Structure 1
Amino acid sequence: MLKAVVFDDEYIVLQGFKMIDWAKFGIEIVATATNGIEGLEVFEEYNPDIVFSDIRMPGLDGLNVIERILESKPETICIVFSGFNEFEYVKRAIKLGVTDYLEKPITIDMIEESIKRIIEKMNQQKLQSQWELNKEELLEKATLDLLLSGVKAESKWRELFGQIAEKVISVTVLALTEKPLYIDRDPSYHVVSLHNGEAHLLVIFHLEDEIAGLFQEIEDWSEQSKVYVGAGRTYSSIVDIEKSYKEAKQALRYGTFLDEEWTSFDDIGGDMHLPSNLSKQEENILFFLRTGDEVGLEEHLELFINQVKTERLNPQVLEREILKLVYLGIEVARGIDKDNDKLNDYFPHLEIRKLNTKEEMFSWLKAQMELFVNWSNNVRQLTKHISVSKACAYMKENYSKDLTLQEVSDYVGMNPTYFSLLFKEEMNQSYIKYLTSFRMERAKDLLNKGCKVAEVSEKVGYHSPRHFSEVFKKYVGIKPGQFKNTV
């Protein structure tokens, strides 16, 4: 039931309000007041939904009372009445946001008609609010289905998104350890916020080629708030949202490990040679194998084995699942050192055929993974300094090109993901931050020599002067043009 209060210094008006059958409207008069100051005290005590107030009252007039009420609780329904039919009162009342204005002498019929209008308006607002809430929930569900099912869920997504679906030119998924409190609305993009598993997701539907600095806004926020963000690639086809989603989750995981607030999938290289349908436990095992975490590897091997046990697989299927994981481990090992001769003479499919029981297969699997992680950690110690030094020299020599992680990692003969981990371990910063830092210092030198901003942008490897300016400002604190003018 809605709560209402009445403020009027005339006894007959207060008595008249008591004669109305409020219950049939779902309203209860919980208190009255005879002056403005008392009215504010009543409002604070009862927190009503509806306020009826005379304009002319001792102590504090009704419009001042309404103004203070609407400042503290804007959703309050306010009806004012007065015996003074003056335009200024009406105009001020409307400006304050009152719902209705009644002229004295007021009658029961006038009040009941006003109440009916109020209730009708409240019901419309409630329906509108509920419709918007339901629509947003349906949009979120449709987007989540699109993430998980791709083309199977596209038609339903288009149906719910309506006209905006036709405007989408590309899509990007971000995975975050914490949801942003606020994302600016902008005609160049539409963002749907989701939660799936442990990660918060922002699905960004691009409506224009340039999306008004949204990524920079989120990146700045993540650094200030110490929140990790993984960014998938941007795809022009809406059904490729699945790829961007998986890439975002992978980027977030490695970014968290590397202690980098913003990590894009291209920054870690991805696992281009690994299948996309790995189970969660298989992904975990490969992650800990690549990062050299023996404890994490052992823990998730046990979880994988327990999972396989519950599935009651026949010997042939079990052998295939274990071999699959071992060969994936070999792929990771090759990424660490492509020229390793030991792997050329390693034939796990021949070894596993000599085993007769499930327990023998599980023990053999553990032994292979232990062998891989020990070997990779030994290689890490032997090659880390040499490989990273070689990569740094290559970046300094080729910083003016559109240099990618794939190109640098190929140069040192490593898998991109493993190289990014190794670089962070050796240099205490990601390869992209190292490269950016070198480029920005070189840009400062060129600006000091009087070179134009567009010329400097191209010389330090940025084809877009706008992007260069954004990166320079973030690194230096001012735009390149301003920096040049201070020289």
Structure 2
Amino acid sequence: MFKVLIVDDEPTIREGLAALIPWEEYMISQVETAENGVEALHKHERLVPDLMIVDIKMPGMTGIELMERIRKRDPSVDFIILSGYAEFEYAKRAISFGVEGYLLKPIVEEELMDYLDKLKLKWEQERDYRQMKDKLEAENKERMLESLLRGNVDAQVTEFFRKLGWSHYRLLFITLDNDLELANRKQQLKAYFKKDDSVIVCTHQRRLVIASNGQFFLSHQPNVIYEKLQRMFPMSEPFAAALTDPVERIEELPTVYQIAEQLLANKFFYDEQQILTSQSKPIFLVKGNKKEQGKSSETQMEKLIYMIELGDQQAVKDICLEMGEQWTHENPTEESIKKNYIHLVSTLINKWMSDYKELTNLMEKVMEIEKQPTIDRLLIHVNSILVEIMEQIDREDSDLIVKKMIHLIERHYHSNIKLDTLAETLHYHRGYLGQLFKDSTGQYFNTYLDKVRIENSKKLLLQDLKVYQVAERIGYANVDYFHSKFKKYVGISPSEYRKKKAIEK
């Protein structure tokens, strides 16, 4: 739509023209008036009209003087001049400056509308030409940028970017999983930066790319840019973004582009809601020296089982974090980490499923591990599953630490279970935890453990197993030690106990 400014010192003429002409038929959406040249100059600066209808003879600044001054700052505006018969020769001088029409007073409306018809056609053609020119220029900018991203820094690309006159080059990549969302956001960004020659927007390998001379990016920190993008274009789909370091030569762009590509490829290991840069730190820092790795997976799994049975949510969370960090050191890929956590949680559920049937309901949540976009979200999801496991397997004794210890002994008497291990994982002093256990049960921790082992060894001795095999199965590595313990608590040796029970049958 177009705009018109009517300048005439006679109120009846300027107001009459503004009210009587059907301007909307000529795609004119805004009509304003001015009573003299000075007012017209001020309104032109604000309105930037497509057409000015100007009276030749006005007090103060004449119409010709007004047109001369307007032409110096706005060569594209069109003029239609108004004149009486007495100013005809005067008007011819105005026509020599280039005007679209000349109307004698009193004005015949049909004559003005004839001029407007011609102007409408002209404006439409000019608009179409500008749109086509802008479109071709935008497409060429995109082609040059895409060619550069592919590593084609040839003479044509170099010359194109040289003509831009940019002092710096910086790229912002936004990755979206939805193709429709990608296309929509591209159009929104192009519209937003339409009048900014320091920005080029394109898509490359299913990513939005914003190239800038640095002004849009250098003036803000990455977190501010992220918030700005969120306000401008609230994303209905999750997205990740990476910002390259600024460079002064276009030949350096393919290199920083590869760095951004690597950041986006590893976005799973970074916090959400940020723009990744070369200074961004992943949640787990990958170490190349495998000698620095922590405890074995078996040790960590054993410790995790202890903590789940003891109901220590913080310890479970810490162990899950440690295991994730360990796996990242061994194989830092999203697929591998998710696979390990799915295996971990599935193993834990299977361990207790026979005793707690409700745990089968968690398998659907286990499959959702695959959908987690970042390691942080994955850990939150995994811990929520483990909390549910803890609630299921220890509903009655969740607040009684000694009962939890007894439960633990009865389930793991055959493993290398020690008071020191429990004290470490429960964050209690060893002496305090031992005294707590003795006060409640009347027995020392090791004594209680020995008695549980001996009771279970009695069952095994009645099976077709050798004595040393029984000792190993209940947690004694030394068969002589098992002999001494058995005799202490039963009064006879394991072999004698087996014979006695055989006779009793």
Report the TM range for the smaller structure's normalisation: 0.3 to 0.5
Q: Report the structure number with the largest CA radius of gyration.
A: 2
For normalisation by structure 2, the TM-score amounts to 0.33
